[in-house]
Structure 1
């Protein structure tokens, strides 16, 4: 690690930002988090972690607490709205092959754990980023050489913060990314047009977590493992995901096709974006419309309906979100770098976005810990290595999330055949081979004592 103190600004206190902060703390690197919200209001449904990230979460001291708030995953049952089962996907083999069961938890519970591990004085709330300036010119008494070692972040409250580098963990509509792209262009550096194109989305969803339920009525809650249920509408316009959690709660997610399809050409892109955002509003009214579409669907846990489960969910924890995805080509400038959704947005089925953000943090913090100096050249080189190491895997994750969404929503005879093969007729050897490829790399950081690779299928990293 460099003998010169390294100072980092993290923008965004979501899962990616907090995990990055915890890793920086373990690496002995100074940081501060700037968060635009004034309070930590956590909404969302369930989130799932697999061995891909559970190993490093154990290494940085989070696994034990995460395990306490989680339920271990055993299988997923896919059925139609009339109750006909299409197939069952097994997950009980995960611990033996990869060292961990998949863990399912409520997103707010996870956020509470992460927040408890970060010094609250290092999280500055109400800090909406307006500008990010590399090599600021207004540092009093600083030499030209000193100026080249800093980046300044300017917030809407008039405050300015200095660091050696900035990590943008501020989500799909990242202010850090916007400012970084503008700064690159002002210097004559090419930014691909695709980085400015609208997000791709053709679905929206409503998520929620029920209040504690009676396990004598919802008997699925009595089982020690979590068993997913995915219910598909007969025309595939809607799907419902049910995930039993600990403390006798059920997480649910309703996915619906967008009323306006993906634009076929650039000319229609702007109009499509405007139409999609008309139905992308957050709040009870926007959520209620989609909930009403599936209220009559049979609930697989009791003789009632999905509407009964929705009614057992506090309205303040129900939210509507867009299922969007995009792969960005430009991830960094000399002293500003993007992480998680800010540079590769996946459709958020079961925590894939959080998983990719954690994998980003593993690589990035490892490189920062090994920095020989705080010079622009060394930091820029580290960012280049970070993108090179993460780009292909992240791009594959974006593509896989897109394909997964189609598997549950696309219509047609060929898609029916694909669903039947995937959910019902896939040979077990092929299913395990596919799973092994997904779980092949379970990376850890190099600057902490390693944790054992307990699985019978050893990690490639």
Structure 2
């Protein structure tokens, strides 16, 4: 077999999606560099969960045990009223038997640090904000805010909902009359979120941290435009959050309010009315806020958008840059990592990095990912409608969902979603654990050929 020269990949954004793609390219021996706009990519965020939809790839990469070491298995997600009466929930007691994996709960910064620890330091360049891109038959060039330029074969925009890569690409497409009208629409923000992770708490004051399993609890308020949640974590810490429904979309047009990433400028002013509300684990939201380091508090507006355009020429988008989920169903990071898996598979199968092969690879990536993302986007929006909505219509629909839809039906849908578990085709697939079947995945012709050639070579040596 002729040895292929792999493409030089430029990844813009050192978030979870960009780091996961880098890990996968590292295993392919594909040259890459990550360009991160911040000075140190200090991770922020709060409670996060991963499950069978992506854990097989962690196992392929040999880092599943590390993920488990920073996590607690999740025993359930409960929606309660302000008196902490159970409204509805999902019990994960069958999850491992069904899928072979526990639902893992952890602090988002810990996952970020885990992934970045496996990336060679010299492959992440900080303080590099993209201001323009230029692509042609020979390659693609990125120009940064500091005037520096970088050249490669492919650029991956993994730089969030306000992606500089996407903005540069869309500008080119718009000038050429190729940008769909929906991709020109302004982003709207219907919610504001503040989250944090406390310092280690006193187990006698908060007995929940003695539990060796995490429980995510969300309080659905009545008559208030917000709700709040908590989850016990490892090391006697508690993740908490407040989500406020805002009627105006002015935030999307005011650059001083926009925040494409988690920001550490936690401003309690807009959230103060929720601080004195009681939590299911004792005390108030303010009590948790007061024992949270200020650099562990982050505030962000919640956008929600599925773009039609994911690629053009030598440029492709990943994660929030092409699909921004509300956090209602916990799908943002999972789908960014699934994007990375499929994109890495398509790069592996691409062959020589000609413009034609690059376009074909990007189209394959889009064709494999768009419908699964669209499906989860619909579910995420509906979950947000049910959980966050405070209008009379939303409250009525929430009442119907919580009281008339059997929990068994909700659980069935959850397990159905877990069947989609794409794996890296250039690594040995891990077996399907549990009693549920995984959705079939397109096999890799290249991997089969390389494996056969390796086996034949070993046979000849014998």
TM-score (norm 1): 0.90
Shift of 1:283: 6.7
* 1:79-228 superposed matches below 5 A: 79-135=80-136, 148-186=137-175, 188-228=176-216
- Structure-2 residue corresponding to 1:265: none
SS of structure 1 residue aligned to 2:235: coil
- The superposition leaves residues 191-240 of structure 1 with CA deviations (integer Å, 9 ceiling, x where unpaired) of 01211211232111101001011112111111111111111221151110
**1:314 aligned to which of 293, 315, 339:** 293
**2:383 aligned to which of 404, 409, 416:** 404
Shift of 1:101: 1.2
For residues 287 and 24 of structure 1, the distance between their equivalents in structure 2, rounded to whole angstroms, comes to: 39
For residues 421 and 168 of structure 2, the distance between their equivalents in structure 1, rounded to whole angstroms, comes to: 33
- The superposition leaves residues 412-447 of structure 1 with CA deviations (integer Å, 9 ceiling, x where unpaired) of 666445434544553354233211221121110111
C-alpha change, 1:15 and 1:272, in structure 2 (3 Å) is closer
For residues 37 and 255 of structure 1, the distance between their equivalents in structure 2, rounded to whole angstroms, comes to: 26
* 1:380-391 superposed matches below 5 A: 380-391=359-370
For residues 237 and 416 of structure 1, the distance between their equivalents in structure 2, rounded to whole angstroms, comes to: 11
* 1:379-458 superposed matches below 5 A: 379-411=358-390, 415-416=394-395, 418-423=397-402, 425-458=404-437
Where structure 1 has 5 or more consecutive residues not aligned to the other structure, the ranges are 136-147, 263-270
For residues 55 and 17 of structure 1, the distance between their equivalents in structure 2, rounded to whole angstroms, comes to: 18
C-alpha change, 1:324 and 1:409, in structure 2 (3 Å) is same
Query: Does the aligned pair in 1 maintain the 2:263–2:300 contact within 8 Å?
Result: no
- The superposition leaves residues 108-145 of structure 1 with CA deviations (integer Å, 9 ceiling, x where unpaired) of 1111111100001000111111211112xxxxxxxxxx
Shift of 1:331: 0.7
For residues 373 and 285 of structure 1, the distance between their equivalents in structure 2, rounded to whole angstroms, comes to: 46
* 1:344-359 superposed matches below 5 A: 344-349=323-328, 351-359=330-338
- Structure-2 residue corresponding to 1:301: 281
SS of structure 1 residue aligned to 2:11: strand
SS of structure 2 residue aligned to 1:81: coil
- Structure-1 residue corresponding to 2:219: 231
C-alpha change, 1:286 and 1:219, in structure 2 (3 Å) is closer
SS of structure 1 residue aligned to 2:311: coil
Shift of 1:247: 0.6
- The superposition leaves residues 160-197 of structure 1 with CA deviations (integer Å, 9 ceiling, x where unpaired) of 211111000000000001111122334x2510121121
For residues 358 and 323 of structure 1, the distance between their equivalents in structure 2, rounded to whole angstroms, comes to: 20
For residues 40 and 416 of structure 1, the distance between their equivalents in structure 2, rounded to whole angstroms, comes to: 39
- The superposition leaves residues 268-305 of structure 1 with CA deviations (integer Å, 9 ceiling, x where unpaired) of xxx56336965879877762124411122112112x22
For residues 306 and 267 of structure 2, the distance between their equivalents in structure 1, rounded to whole angstroms, comes to: 27
For residues 164 and 243 of structure 1, the distance between their equivalents in structure 2, rounded to whole angstroms, comes to: 43
C-alpha change, 1:283 and 1:24, in structure 2 (3 Å) is closer
TM-score (norm 2): 0.90
Where structure 2 has 5 or more consecutive residues not aligned to the other structure, the ranges are 441-462
Shift of 1:41: 1.7
C-alpha change, 1:277 and 1:401, in structure 2 (3 Å) is farther
Aligned-residue CA RMSD (Å): 2.1
For residues 241 and 198 of structure 1, the distance between their equivalents in structure 2, rounded to whole angstroms, comes to: 29
**2:268 aligned to which of 273, 284, 288:** 288
Query: Does the aligned pair in 2 maintain the 1:48–1:350 contact within 8 Å?
Result: no
Query: Does the aligned pair in 2 maintain the 1:34–1:125 contact within 8 Å?
Result: yes
- The superposition leaves residues 240-265 of structure 1 with CA deviations (integer Å, 9 ceiling, x where unpaired) of 011111111110110001141x5xxx
